[in-house]
Structure formats: C-alpha cells, structure tokens
Amino acid sequence: MTKAQKYFNMIKDKRVAFIGVGVSHTDLIKQFLTKGINCVVCDKKDEDQFDELLMEELSAKGCEFSLGEHYLDEIFNCDIVFRTPGMYYNDPVLTKAREKGVIITSEMETFFDLCPCKTYALTGSDGKTTTTTLVSEFLKGEGKRVHIGGNIGKALLPIVETISDSDVAVCELSSFQLISMRESPDVAGITNIRPNHLNVHGTMEEYTQAKCNILSHQNAYSRAVLSWDDETTRGLAPIVRGRLAYFSTKIKPEQGSFLREDGMLCYNDFGKVTEYVHKDDIKIPGMHNVEDYLTAIAMTYGEVKPETVEKVAKEFGGVEHRIEFVRELDGVKYYNNSIASSPTRVLACLAAFDQKQIMIQGGSDKGISFEPMAAPICDKVKVLILMGQTAEKIRAAVTAAPNYSESGIKIIMVKDMKEAVETARKYAVEGDIVSLTPACASFDMYRMFEERGKHFKQCVNELA
C-alpha cells in the first residue's frame, strides 16, 4: 500500500473543510468526494455569487457548503481544514481552530508528505516562476516525466496516486505556502529575498522565516542552491543540512554556477568547470534571466547535460506576464510585465533594455517602499503612466528622487488600463518600448496579476 493510499484510508471517516474554491481546490474536492470523504466548502462568497454549476455538481456528490460572512464558523465542526495560500496561516480564526485540535493543512503540504518521487522546489521574491519553469524544461529535455505544481502548473495532490517514483515534481512555492510547511524538497533553491508581502506578513522577519522552511526540513542527502549575490539569501547557508551550491554573476564559487567574464554560463565543481551556454544565446532578455538560468543549472547539475541547457536557452521564449512581448505597432514594442509587483522587479525590467521606456505602473499597496526604484525610474523612464490605489504614492517617491528635476521624466495620471495604453501610444514614437511594469499587486482593480496582464494585452491588441 502506498503512502497516499494509507493517507486516504486514515481520513475516510473525517470531515474535511476546504477554504476557498480556486482551480486547485476544485480538483482536490472532487478527488476527496470520490474517496467518500465528507467535504465542506467554506467560501466568503454568498450563494448568489457562487458558481451555480459548480455548486450543483459538488452538491450532487455529497458536498456541503458554508458561505457568506460567517463562512469560517464551520471549520470548528471539521477534523481537517485545507487552506488556500491566500488564507493567511496565522489568521486568528485558524489559530483558534488549531488550538482546539483542528488540523490545518494545505494541498502543497500534504502533497510533499505523500509524494513518491524526487522533488525540486523554488522560492524567492523575484524570478521563481521562470526558474521553476527552466528546471522543468531541463529535466523534460533529459526524458523525465515532470509534474509542475505549487504557484504554477496544477494541483499535484489530486494526481499523487498516478505519480511513480521515477518521475520528478517541480514546484514554485510562495511565502504563504511555505509558512506552515514542515517538509522540504530534495532539491531546494532560493533566488533572492527582498521586501515583499509585508502587508500580510507584517515583518520582514516573518517573511524571511517563511522562506527558510524550504531548507529547514531537508536532510543530509538533499541539495540546496542559494544566491551568492543576494546577502540575505547567502546568509542562510548555516541552516543548510545537505550539499550547498551557489549561483552568482559576480564571483566564481567553489561549488556552484557562475557567469564567466567572457559571458559563458558555467558550473564549478571544486575546480572542475563545465561550460553550458553563452548569455547572448539566451532567447529571453535581461540579466535577471541569466540569473534564473544559473539557478536552474545549479539545481540540476549532474542530471542535465550542457547541450540540453543550450537547446532550452535558444528556444524557450519565457513565461507569460514576464517581460512578455505583446506586439509591435508603428515601430513601438509593447511588453507585458504584469508579474512585476515589487520595486525590485521594476529594476530588473529597467535593466533588461538599453533605452528609456514608457512605463505603466500602479495597483494595490503591499506595504513596501517605492524609494528604491525612484531614482532608476528617473534615469530610465521617459514617460511614467500611473493608475490605481498607489498612483499618488509612486508619484511622491519619484518626484522626491534626487535626480528628478534634471531627468525630464513626464508623469501622467490615468483612471484605468485602457486609458493607460492609449496614453502610452499617444506619447510613443518609433523605436520606443512600452511596458506594463506595475510595481504593485493587482487587487485594487483585478483578481490576479494574470488578469491584469491579459487586460493589458487585450488593450494593446485593440489599438488600431
């Protein structure tokens, strides 16, 4: 009997609640219902706001519902609660439920407990989605059957019984997922740790500690990859239990990947240097993507051939919403960088191009300072178009920059995405670059950054 089979046998008589019904939980609820497990959907949407067809489908299979303002009350009558990453682990209601003996878990936590195959996982403030995708592409190129989950891909717990021990699972993990995890991957990578999501975590200490869980539960046979160039990440070396490798664009580590002076991406294994690919052969632009390749190389060293990496580098066009080329119109190139929800991601986009940009920014406030991006924006943005909840806050940061007065930057306030795109076109001339690089979360106007990026692309493509 597999570990997964034992788990489902153990909980078959339990009452299980699912907080929120996103894509991952929908598949998970259906899986649990097929096992004959008593399921309760807890969602803050009222019944008239809930997906009617989904409610009918789940109800027909025996699912119960707790909806509306007091949707969390029912978790106290359950044995196990699966929270979505968007539900903060230290929420007072969940804390009270844990104190009363209710098991609070998540899809990813349970998957890592039950997964029969080798696991790779990435976290970090920036770059984790692209790096996770690269790791999966490298391993696919070597003929591996790869399952991608976490923040990207699909829910893996619903398919855990179909995964064999010869497969690999590659996951992107956020701080919201990691904060409660007590199982770490076989191969863990941290791209960087910079201020982010402080509106939820409250302190940088809690945010960093959550990230550390990707390392804290590894064993002596595991592998960890850390950024040498990011001081906070490098400082986590003492908690690594297994083999430690670094990646760097600044030094040649004794064990790890690095960018050689001639532009070649290499790996140094205590004096044995393996060459992989030249940075100019990487299809997606920007030094931040070179760093992503170095991370993926370090995570898969010894398992992926240099020619596989080179093939991916020349063919892989990037991940949607990450400096994604949308179209060229009247000699102006438009890029969708909706993922850029923090100032550090803005800096990466500014560095990705050699010319000044027209940049669209603004969104919901994550409680982080815009000061670090203000002076670079004055240097590398010709027109700054601001919208959303943080528009005034960004304008204040940029106009307070020491180089603002001589920069010549034009700042324009708009009400929505359509007006932002139309304004960008009005001011753009042949040869210009326009990017949606918001520096903020999307929740003031959109449900997710993906929805924001798709709307931007729609507005750009509708330009006549």
What confidence tens digit (pLDDT) does each residue in 191-219 have? 988 765 556 656 778 888 888 999 999 99
Query: CA 233, CA 246: separation in Å to the nearest integer?
Result: 10
Query: Residue ranges of the chain with pLDDT lower than 70?
Result: 195-202
State the amino acid at position 295 in one-letter form. T
Residue 193 pLDDT:
87
In 10 A of CB 251, how many CB atoms?
13
For the chain, the C-alpha Rg in angstroms (whole number) is 23
Residue 22 pLDDT:
76
Residue 402 pLDDT:
97
Residue 318 pLDDT:
82
Residue 196 pLDDT:
58
Query: CA 38, CA 12: separation in Å to the nearest integer?
Result: 8
Residue 105 pLDDT:
95
Query: CA 448, CA 177: separation in Å to the nearest integer?
Result: 17
Residues contacting residue 305 through CB under 8 Å, at least 6 positions apart: 142
In 10 A of CB 394, how many CB atoms?
26
What confidence tens digit (pLDDT) does each residue in 120-156 have? 999 998 878 899 999 999 999 999 999 999 988 789 9
Residue 135 pLDDT:
98
Domains for the chain: give ranges and CATH numbers.
3-105 (3.40.50.720), 109-315 (3.40.1190.10), 324-461 (3.90.190.20)
Residue 154 pLDDT:
87
